[in-house]
Every structure is written in C-alpha cells, then in structure tokens.
Structure 1
Amino acid sequence: MKDNKEIPEYLYDIEINTLQGSIFDWSICKGKKVLIVNTASECGFTKQYKDLQKISEKYADSLLVVGVPCNQFGQQEPGSSDQIQSFCSLNFGVTFPLTEKVDVKGPNQHPLYAWLTQKKYNGVKNSTVKWNFQKYLIDENGKLIDYYYSITKPGSSKILKKIEKAPA
C-alpha cells in the first residue's frame, strides 16, 4: 500500500492529486453520484472515454465521472500527465476530472483503490481490478453502490438505472 497510509473511513477524505498535480477537490462530488474509472490511452476499451464523456454531460447535475489513469495493465498508459490530458481532450473531448496516474492493485495500490476494492473500508463488498476501464459507482453520500468490469459499457442500462435512481 502506498506509504502504508491509514485508509480513511470516508471516501472524500482520501487524498489524490489531479493530473495537473494539485489535490483533487472531493467537494465537487458531494451530493452527486460519482463514477470512478481506471483509464488507459492505449487500451482496446479506450473508446469508452467517448461514452464516459457523454454520460458526464447528460447527467451533469447528478453525476461526476472521475478518470484515474493507470499503467498496470499491459503498460497501456505510458504517457506523462500532459500527454494523457492532451490525448483525452483531443481524441474524446474529455472535460471530466482526471487524477494523477496511480496503481490500482498490488503493493503500491493507491488508498483510493484500497477503499474501492476492500469491504473493510467501503462497507459494501470486496473486488479486484481486473483491467482498464473498470468502473466504481458511488452514491451521493460517498458510499459504494457497485462496480462494473471493463466489458460493461458506461452507457449500459446496468449502470444508467443506478445513476438515474433517486437518492436514498
């Protein structure tokens, strides 16, 4: 685990930097559902950026998509922060937030992904990140709703019906 840091109980207390290097401001997520997706620019699923941008725009009042670049699967995100930002903007018109490139599994797993993948932190379920573009849906109060493997498209009814469901 990165720096052996204690994992906060509350998702929004986890520190992660933006792609530009400043601390990500979780307050922009409060009151919205959040779809956290580990991304990669050279993956067969990279075209999902287009659908992620689409749902980000369609549900802008109730959803925030957050892309988390990762180079752990097939070395498919080799670029620098500037290269990643440029690639996403130019090729897919991405305007949703992107974080720094992190490890989503293994000994250097970022605390965000420790929280997302371990029931002892998220209180809901355990999971393993299997590949790029795995998605984690968080409710308006920062609680894990569910996760979806890469093959589940962002516009899938499985995801959309949970995004559209009124807050509990």
Structure 2
Amino acid sequence: MRWMFAVIMLLGAAVGSLGPAAPARAERSILAEFRFGSIDGGEMGFADWAGRPVLLANTASLCGYTWQYAQLQALFDAYGPRGLVVVAIPSNSFNQELGSDREVRDFCQLNYGLDLPITTVTPVRGPDAHPFYAWLREETGFVPRWNFNKVLIGRDGSVLGTWGSAERPTGRAITAAVEAALAEAPRS
C-alpha cells in the first residue's frame, strides 16, 4: 500500500512540474495560428509578433470613443521601441464603422496619422467573430461590449488584461500593465 502511495506522489509531482509550462506553449502555438488581414494588404498575426507584448483594440471610426486612436498611437510611439505592438482592429460589430477598408485606412491616416498596425474590418463578437476573439471568449470569458475594448497579450501568449471602452489607452491601468509586460524577460 505504501508503494502505491509513493507512486501516486511521484506521478503527481511529475505532472505538477509539467503543468505550468505546457499551457504557455499551447497558448503560444494557438495564438501563432491567428492571422488578420492587414488594411495595407497581406496578412499579419501573432507569429509576426512572437515574444512581444501585443495590445489589441477593436475600433470604429464613427464611435464616440474614436478619439482614442490618438492615444493608441501615443502608446505605440512611447512603448513600440521597447517592443510593444499596438494593433487597431476596425470592426462593424456595433454598426459604427465606415463602409470599406480603404475608407477606414484613409480616415485613420488623415485624422490621426496612424502608423500602427491596422487590420481589415473584422467582426469581434457573435457567430462571425474572428477566431482570436472566439478563442479569447473561450479562454477568459471576455467579449467586447462596445468599440475600443482593449486586450493585452503577454510575451508568452497569456492574456494579461482586458479593458472596456472607458479605459484610456494611455491611462495608468493600461500603461502599468504594458510596463510590467515589457519588464518580463523575452523568451529565447
């Protein structure tokens, strides 16, 4: 009976020692599969940003929070040189986006001078949600409730934080989370 207890304890220790590392690898490999259409043509995705923290915001050009584009750009300008990727994901999920990718691109460049990565117009909720947002819902229960919701993904692919529309991109909550994410050592 003692030998059985010893075997169970050894198996438990072995499984426990594998536990924390396995999910991070699984999250990275799942995230690496998610690709977005780029508003400038082609595709982009987490595989391109491997080892870097990524802040994603679902955006809309005709929303009352559209002023946050300027803060997303400011965040990208301030932290991009240190490794942060900021991605705007225009979405018509709340019926407040312009009619075409070209209109969105022109609006963002003319009104806000954005040079951060911008995806094509992408659904972020419901049955047609982009696979990243479906994964996010399954993993964390987070679903954008409106435009300009933000999600911070860490270097290891873990979800470090989610924020609603009212949270300013350059506010203390997000900048503190970004600084902590950047302070983590990059994986080799």
Is the pair's TM-score, using the shorter chain for normalization, greater than 0.5? yes
What is aligned with 2:67? 47
**CA offsets per residue over residues 84-127 of structure 1, 9 Å max, x none?**
111101111110111111111111111011122221xxxxx211
Q: Secondary structure at the match of 2:35?
A: coil
Where do 4+ consecutive residues of structure 1 move more than 4 Å?
none
Q: Which amino acid aligns with 1:68?
A: I
TM-score, normalising length: structure 2: 0.78
The 1-side partners of 2:156 and 2:30 are apart by: 9
Shift in Å at residue 32 of structure 1?
1.7
Q: How many residues align?
A: 156
By percentage of residues, which structure has more helix? 2
Q: Which amino acid aligns with 1:83?
A: E
CA contact (8 A) 1:56 1:63 kept: yes
Q: Secondary structure at the match of 1:146?
A: strand
The 2-side partners of 1:65 and 1:79 are apart by: 23
| Structure 2 residue corresponding to 1:98, chosen from 118, 134, 137 | 118
| Structure 1 residue corresponding to 2:144, chosen from 98, 108, 129 | 129
- The answer as to 2:85 corresponding to 1:64 is yes
CA contact (8 A) 2:148 2:164 kept: yes
- Higher RCO, Cα 8 Å, sep 6+: 1
What is aligned with 1:122? none
Q: Percent identity?
A: 36
**Structure 1 residues not aligned, in runs of 5+:** 1-7, 120-124
RMSD (Å) for aligned C-alpha atoms: 1.8
Shift in Å at residue 9 of structure 1?
5.5
Shift in Å at residue 78 of structure 1?
2.5
